[in-house]
Structure 1
Amino acid sequence: MAANPAKYEKLALVCSQTDRADKAARELRESQDFVPLSQADAVIVLGGDGTMLDCLHDMLDGGQILPVFGLNLGTVGFLMNRYHGAIALGRRLAEAKAMPILPLRMNVTTQSGERHTFCAINEVSLLRETRQTAKVEISVNGRVRIPELAGDGILLSTPVGSTAYNLSANGPILPLDSNMLALTPISPFRPRRWRGAILPDRSRVTFRVNEPAKRPVAAVADSKEVRDVAEVHIEVAREMEMVLLFDPHQALDERIVAEQFMT
């Protein structure tokens, strides 16, 4: 759907710490007034996907979630739009396609009993901490599906993250509107024939670490890491829906489809 231009009159600017992004920020400030994030209707992000994810996480942590229009001044820029200078920024925002995304919520209990909660826009992954293979029990909606997965780890990915780490681990690419999650093993040793699962995004997934003293495991929600975990519960945080803004015909849903035909 097209964005309502009246909603995006007050813009905040977030910029990565690179020379390219700093130069672009100066160009935009010469033609556009920006306000603090607390007063904004939307956010312009200058940088790459890492800067975009940092901005989204800052909003999740701060409790103020605004639509975000990213301009790529990084490397890949999968979550970004092309940077064309300050020309027609207002028009681009008025014509932008709004894409809602839902983050995951990870609730972790460590071996010592500490509890942590983090959100992930791309994926939650469990990774072995040492040379020892990780052994993880996998449950979905309270039912044990795999009593013991042995390997480097396991991840649960959103559609947004399905073209990132999930794809590198040979997981499936998920259309943005699929309402699905990808459960993907990382270098699995046992069971040999299991290559993962596609789950409805209303699923609640639980990982329990087997033999934790011998085989310690870390849990990572995007870039937030908790070590020596005992149990991890993951579900979609529907009340934290976020909106990314894209130029027409260059939106995230089309990019995810196109990624399936890359050779």
Structure 2
Amino acid sequence: MARRFHKIAFVASPTPGSRESAAALMRRYDHVAPEDADVVVALGGDGLMLQVLHRFMASGKPIYGMNRGTVGFLMNEFREDMLIERLEAAHRSVIHPLIMEAEDVEGRRHTAQAINEVYMLRQTHQTAKLRIAVDGHERLPELIADGVLCATPAGSTAYNLSVGGPILPLNAQLLALTPISAFRPRRWRGALLPSYAHIRIEVLDPDHRPVAAVADHTEFRRVRWVETRLDQATDLVILHDPGHSLDERILREQFG
């Protein structure tokens, strides 16, 4: 059978364990620079996987992660042996990023992409006051909370889950809109939105109640409004060992 991948690149997080593992693999397997590869092997934790997915977002390169971090939800088990065979047998998961557009109090426009979530968070001791609209229709005139986030299915088990949001199956055509420590309305627990939804969140008092907007690890401070939507035109490919797909991991999360 013809091989799918001929040029492998290794990318490691800066931790000693990750770098040692990368060095061992590079001694064992032929490799090229990441820009020349047709598959990238990422050694680290979920944070590194997000960085690598962002780095190669426009390239279409599949990413195969091996866990040298703490949680490793997006990663496969680390082993030095049979890497070529594992890559050839790996299954694909395709995910799409969120696009975030924001304007700050100085009138500057900002754009960023997020694989896990876009969120807004108060910058001071005062709660944020936010207005939420979906597809041009106001849905919540005032949310008083620490903030609010919009998560993709791939990101639904990250920050979204820790603040009480729902876990979404990877192939669900949904986004999770989840409040962060809501004060009013107390009973609002968030919403499930179709994947094509355009979400606009306005800061009602940006001068006295400043709010930051974050797309994964990119932050903009003192924003007036944020708009976000799923970028269906961009495919991010994650490779996983048979029986350890993201769908399976998300399902396991729901049963503890």
TM range (shorter): over 0.9
Match of residue 8 from structure 1: 5
2:61 alignment partner AA? L
1:171 alignment partner AA? G
The superposition leaves residues 101-153 of structure 1 with CA deviations (integer Å, 9 ceiling, x where unpaired) of 11100011111110111000000000000011100000000100001100100
1:154 alignment partner AA? V
Structure 1: 4+ residue segments shifted above 6 A: none
**1:5 shift after superposition:** 6.4
CA contact under 8 A between 1:206 and 1:233: conserved in structure 2?
yes
1:93 alignment partner AA? L
> Is it true that 1:78 corresponds to 2:73 in the alignment?
yes
**1:7 shift after superposition:** 3.1
Match of 1:176 among 170, 183, 189: 170
Match of residue 34 from structure 2: 37
| Secondary structure class of the residue paired with 1:144 | strand
CA distance in 2, matches of 1:223, 1:29: 29
TM-score (norm 1): 0.95
Count of residue correspondences: 256
Question: CA distance change for structure 1 residues 71 and 224 in 2, over 3 Å: closer, same or farther?
Answer: same
TM-score (norm 2): 0.98
CA contact under 8 A between 1:44 and 1:71: conserved in structure 2?
yes
1:243 alignment partner AA? V
Q: What is the RMSD of the two structures over their aligned residues, measured on CA atoms?
A: 1.1
1:35 alignment partner AA? V
2:176 alignment partner AA? A
CA distance in 2, matches of 1:115, 1:239: 22
Question: Whose helix proportion is higher, 1 or 2?
Answer: 1
The superposition leaves residues 129-188 of structure 1 with CA deviations (integer Å, 9 ceiling, x where unpaired) of 001110000000010000110010000000111011000110000000011110000000
Aligned sequence identity (%): 49
Any unmatched runs of 5+ in structure 2? none
Match of residue 48 from structure 1: 45
Question: CA distance change for structure 1 residues 88 and 164 in 2, over 3 Å: closer, same or farther?
Answer: same
> Is it true that 1:140 corresponds to 2:134 in the alignment?
yes
The superposition leaves residues 221-240 of structure 1 with CA deviations (integer Å, 9 ceiling, x where unpaired) of 01100001011110011122
| Secondary structure class of the residue paired with 2:176 | strand
CA distance in 2, matches of 1:212, 1:115: 15
2:136 alignment partner AA? G
